[in-house]
Copies of this chain bind each other. A is one copy, B any other.
Amino acid sequence: MIDGVWNASELKAYPNTGRFLSGRTRHEMTDAQKRVLEDAIEETATFKSSRRILERGEVYDRSTILIDGFVMRSMDGPERRHGLSFHVPGDFVDLHCFALKRLDHNIDTVGPVTLGYAPHRRLQRIMAEHPDVARILWFATLIDAAIHREWVMKLEQLTVPRRIAHIFAENWYRLRLVGLGDDDGYDTPLTQGNLAEMVGATTIHVNRALKQLREQGIARFSRGRIDISDARRLAEYGTFQPDYLYGSDAYLSNDSDDEAADD
């Protein structure tokens, strides 16, 4: 496991929010702040299979943090669903619906997930009584915006195979920030269809693109697992540079040299 990024003891002390901002500014948070946040979670829920948990246009009185599993932000087009971003454990997936009321997109689970719910009245109290924590929450929503911007750019810039490589690299990096993922890839319930929704292509074209990535030795996607043999090559092919993720550590950079840390 990589030092300086993920601290496993956090999950024991804060079972619902222990991964929040892990690998970013979590180490700057005080225990009191972490406690305030953990106490904002009123209850948790687990879903076994893929489903829509939040719907565009609806108003909710609580926000959702992803504790375990994967979710995808999406919007429905006239013919298919479009993916906006993937989320990994520790992400507050709809914190913005606290300030924004009406949700402007859907949240769909991908595979089994565990969620935590923070009622807006508790967030309201945090805003009033803990401006330092409020700023942290704001920061978290701004990272989301930064991820959106990066993806806008990549959609404008990259072909479909390269977009897929970028997704693989970004997800891998984000998983490792929160203590998940291996040194040579990661497990994920993503289907080729999910990838297609995310990169803005058809499933058929994604399938061909994956074949190409496989043949070129850049990444190997098989149901439930993504294997990456050459991290640097993947990052280069997908032009992935993780600065926009605001990780606190350069450890997870493209440099495969940096992967040398054993255990």
Contacts and interface: CB of A to CB of B under 8 A. Distances in A.
Interface string A6-29: 000000000000000000000000
* Dominant secondary structure at the A interface: helix
A53 interface: no
A105 interface: yes
Interface string A145-188: 11011111101110000000000000000000000000000000
A152 B155 contact: yes
Nearest to A143: B100
Interface string A234-248: 000001000110100
Query: Which of A85, A128, A145 has the largest count of B CB atoms less than 10 A from its CB?
Result: A145
A54 interface: no
Interface residues of A, number: 43
Contacts of A144: 145
Contact of A75 (B82, B104, B141, B149): B149
A138 interface: yes
A149 B248 CA distance: 25
Given A131-B128, A149-B104, A149-B105, A99 B138 contact: yes
A57 B243 contact: yes
Contact of A141 (B105, B145, B151, B244): B145
Given A82-B157, A145-B144, A152-B155, A135 B99 contact: yes
Contacts of A150: 75, 104
A156 B155 contact: yes
A209 B131 CA distance: 49
Contacts of A96: 142, 145-146
Nearest to A200: B156
A57 B138 CA distance: 20
A47 interface: no
Interface in A115-154: 127-128, 131, 134-135, 138-139, 141-146, 148-153
Given A84-B153, A104-B243, 9 more contacts: A75-B149, A77-B156, A82-B153, A83-B156, A100-B142, A104-B146, A134-B138, A141-B141, A151-B152
Interface of A: 57, 73, 75, 77-78, 82-85, 96, 99-100, 102, 104-105, 127-128, 131, 134-135, 138-139, 141-146, 148-153, 155-157, 199-200, 239, 243-244, 246
